[in-house]
């Protein structure tokens, strides 16, 4: 189809291609405007992404998995998408959210939850933002500034923009963190769901 030159066994590539397909499906485009509009809900979008990841047969993605500790610390957490290899080895967690603007408290909640859910220190995790606002470029600049100054649970040593996909409406930032003297990565994938 597209992007034949990319390594489809690379998890980041598989996730980005699932986002590309989601973004190309008009059913999921735009903002959720009423309760019955389930196709634009975070859960529906997450299921679509998880199915896209699992369809590669290289990875298994489970959505709404209970694992780790909830943000409040009293129950198991509900992970948006948990990714395993085909031998059931855990690889990554995706924490996703719908946004129409830079809601700092909501973003912080999801980033903090991700680090709480990851009880073993996975090599790479993902924040996936379905952006349905009107100013994607402005939002992405503000988001970059916000995460550059964010007080992460594990110290951030570096922030970079990932350029290998060269899409205008899917942007990726990568933060590098020191977790118990091991470098781990958090990818921030911003998907413009209002690209009309």
112, part of any domain: yes
The 10s digit of each residue's pLDDT in 131-162 is 999 999 999 999 999 999 999 999 999 999 99
Q: Do 99 and 132 contact (CB within 8 A), yes or no?
A: yes
2, part of any domain: no
Specify the range with the lowest mean pLDDT, choosing from 10-14, 34-38, 144-148, 191-195. 34-38
The 10s digit of each residue's pLDDT in 100-133 is 999 999 999 999 999 999 999 999 999 999 999 9
1, part of any domain: no
177, part of any domain: yes
**Angle between the 11-23 and 42-54 helix axes, to the nearest 10 degrees?**
130
**Positive or negative torsion for Cα 134, 138, 144, 146:** negative
110, part of any domain: yes
The 10s digit of each residue's pLDDT in 1-19 is 344 444 555 899 999 999 9
Q: Report percent pLDDT > 70 for the chain.
A: 80
Instruction: Name the β-bridge partners of 130.
Output: 98, 191
4, part of any domain: no
Q: Provide the pLDDT for residue 4.
A: 45
**Angle between the 104-117 and 136-148 helix axes, to the nearest 10 degrees?**
60
Q: How many structural domains comprise the chain?
A: 1
User: How sure is the predictor about 67, in pLDDT bands with cuts at 50, 70 and 90?
Assistant: low
Mean pLDDT for the stretch of residues 180-190: 96
Q: Provide the pLDDT for residue 196.
A: 61
6, part of any domain: no
Across the chain, mean pLDDT equals 85
* pTM of the shown model: 0.87
The domain of 137 spans 11-192
Specify the range with the lowest mean pLDDT, choosing from 33-37, 89-93, 172-176. 33-37
54, part of any domain: yes
């Amino acid at each position: 189809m597209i992007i034949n030159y990319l390594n489809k066994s690379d998890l980041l590539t598989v996730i980005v291609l699932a986002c590309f397909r989601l973004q190309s499906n008009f059913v999921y485009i735009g903002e959720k405007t009423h309760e019955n509009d389930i196709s634009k809900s975070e859960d529906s979008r997450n299921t679509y992404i998880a199915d896209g990841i699992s369809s590669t047969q290289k990875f298994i993605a489970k959505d709404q998995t209970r694992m780790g500790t909830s943000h409040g610390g009293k129950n198991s957490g509900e992970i948006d998408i948990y990714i395993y290899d085909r031998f059931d080895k855990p690889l990554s967690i995706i924490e996703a959210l719908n946004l129409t603007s830079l809601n700092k408290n909501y973003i912080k909640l999801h980033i903090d939850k991700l680090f709480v859910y990851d009880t073993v220190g996975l090599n790479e995790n993902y924040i996936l933002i379905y952006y349905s606002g009107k100013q994607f470029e402005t939002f992405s600049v503000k988001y970059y500034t916000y995460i550059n100054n964010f007080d992460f649970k594990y110290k951030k040593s570096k922030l970079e923009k990932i350029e290998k996909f060269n899409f205008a409406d899917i942007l990726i930032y990568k933060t590098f963190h020191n977790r118990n003297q091991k470098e781990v990565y958090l990818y921030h994938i911003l998907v413009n769901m209002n690209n009309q």
